[in-house]
A and B are shown apart, each in its own frame.
Chain A
Amino acid sequence: MTINDVREKLQQQISQLISSLDQVVQMYGMPIIQDKNGNPLWIDVREMTLRYQIPIKKVQKFFEGLKEGKILATKCNKCGTIYFPPQDDCPKCKISGLEWVEMPDEGELVAYTIINVKPPSFSHYQDYIVGIAKMKNGINVTAWVNSKEVKVGMKVKLRITKREPENYLTYELIPA
């Protein structure tokens, strides 16, 4: 399935919903339906689609790193704190412009779950495993675990992958 197939399928579902709402208005004169308890509900006719724009300038280097095949964290030279997910401000030392360091690729799984009931925006994926791994530098990473077998304590590797069908770079954990 390509991302366009996913989008088309979603648009079809939305169109179906809207046309059935139009039918309700035609039949009843107003967008009112009965729910399974027999209670009348007014179905909102003002649809809102949200897509946020999240500024990433301060951590742009992380995304450049992914393109170059590196998973980067930031490090405060003053107190030594490593930040992952990366951030460019060390609130402890109140300084910015932290150093960029590469994350180690070896770690151990400390917690995981298999998501069976998925949010609609993830419904085009098979059930996926999300894990938290403690990496060699002591920093935790949350990511999908690409593995058939999974258990707490298993050794994992952190690597860059392409998220299909959206086709963008991200990172995942795989068995070591």
Chain B
Amino acid sequence: MRNVAIIGTGHTKFGVRTDVNLQELAWEAIKQALEEANLDQKDIQYFVVGNVGSWSAEELPAVVVGEYSDLTPKGTMRVEAACATGSAALRDAYLAIKSGEADIALAVGVEQMHQSPNPQVVELIGRAGDYFWEFENFGLTFPGYYALHASAYMAKYGAKEEDLGKIAIKSHHYGARNPYAQFQKEITMDEYLKSKPVAYPLKLLDSSPITDGAAAVVLASEEVAKKITDSPVWIVSQGVASGTANLSKRTDFTHIEAAYLAAQQAYSRAGINFDEAWRFFDVAEVHDCFTIAEIMAYEDLGFAKRGEGYLLAREEQTYIGGKIPVNVDGGLKAKGHPIGATGISMAVAITRQLLYRAPKGTQVNVKHGMGISHNVGGTGHYAYVTIFSTRRPSS
């Protein structure tokens, strides 16, 4: 199997993007990624479009994005893995190159949630669990699914409301320094504690927003990448796992089993020891659709022991300069969470970090040349953990 590198990245401003439609938004990211890679559409042999949709009008988004971006007639598909859709799109393009099917491929994630009014988005996303046994009868909302985890976690380990608040404050701290972020404003603990309840124990300031945005990456095989760029960022490994749609079928509500399994796979392929995983990485992007998700991510990735993730937040060990910087682009919480784009946005953020191209005030000190992304679809319905490095993988 061949090595695969990221050779171009593109990222739009996240937020309310009613100034463009879905395909125009995707094109902003695609154009940037093509320019960075110094390639034209004719060089792209295959492209994948990550989009969850249902809130936006186009029924076959891969096709309209391909048409608008002049990528037609190259082969394409639309992928969906809930909030991990971007990572699924990345995976498809990565595998196409790894297997030798293509030498250069593009993955774009795009979502335009504001094509529907917010209440309708709440309705649609609430249906993202087991429709009949969770939504139709019991009206679970998406924050509600994570709130179930939060109540179980807090009861078992004694984490406090303020510990969740620490995560939100950190995200907004870095979001304020990221020109692509939806919220470029710091928040205080007082503002956090007073914010409106959404699904107890989660509040508005525990939650990622409804967002529009796109992100794209151009991937190439080792042979091609070397000809195009002298600063490729390699995809070292990727772990992927799934969980039940119906939360009641799970035995544990204090962690996300699929994410833990995906991490184990990615670590094993990269030769990383789970208990010391944090020592390997300069930066991590983890799925913080709600603050509790980031705390569980610390544990599922081996950055903290079980039940101690909230202490990492409490002690501010995930800021730049701490044990391991996490979500220093603002995370889903402040950067925004355009569902189909999020996974690719994480890949773009890590790539730019490793190449010292992060926005001022968010750049980490790159010592190991390695970064990791953790992207969860639904509440562990899908999970993707991807390891990136500036050093060429040995196999």
Q: Which A residues lie at the B interface, using CB under 8 A?
A: 35, 37, 39, 41, 44, 54, 84-85, 110-123, 125, 128, 130, 132, 140-144, 151-153, 163, 170
Q: Is the CB of B155 within 8 A of A117?
A: no
Q: Is the CB of B123 within 8 A of A120?
A: yes
Interface membership of B151, Cβ < 8 A: yes
Q: Is the CB of B151 within 8 A of A117?
A: no
Q: How far is the CB of A16 from chain B (nearest CB, A)?
A: 14
A sample of 28 inter-chain contacts (CB < 8 A) reads A35-B18, A37-B16, A41-B18, A44-B57, A84-B248, A85-B130, A85-B132, A111-B253, A112-B148, A113-B150, A113-B201, A114-B197, A114-B199, A115-B140, A116-B200, A117-B122, A117-B143, A118-B141, A119-B122, A119-B139, A120-B120, A120-B123, A128-B139, A140-B250, A142-B134, A142-B248, A143-B138, A163-B137
Q: Is the CB of A85 within 8 A of B133?
A: yes
> Which of the residues B148, B149, B246 comes within 8 Å of A130, measured between beta carbons?
B148
Interface string of B55-85 (1 = CB under 8 A from A): 0010000000000000000000000000000
Taking CB atoms, residues of chain A closer than 8 Å to B139 are 115, 118-119, 121-122, 125, 128, 130
Q: How far is the CB of B338 from chain A (nearest CB, A)?
A: 17
Residue of A nearest to B124 (CB): A119
Residue of B nearest to A139 (CB): B248
Interface membership of B144, Cβ < 8 A: yes
Q: Contacts A39-B18, A141-B248 given: A111-B133 contact, CB under 8 Å?
A: no
Q: Is the CB of A144 within 8 A of B138?
A: yes
12 new A-B contacts, CB < 8 A, other than A35-B18, A117-B198, A152-B156, are: A85-B130, A85-B248, A113-B147, A114-B200, A115-B144, A116-B198, A118-B139, A119-B119, A130-B139, A142-B133, A142-B134, A142-B247
Alpha-carbon gap, A122 to B151, bound state (A): 22
Interface membership of B230, Cβ < 8 A: no
Taking CB atoms, residues of chain B closer than 8 Å to A120 are 119-120, 122-123
Residue of A nearest to B253 (CB): A111
Q: Is the CB of B197 within 8 A of A116?
A: yes
Residue of B nearest to A114 (CB): B200
Q: Is the CB of B137 within 8 A of A119?
A: no
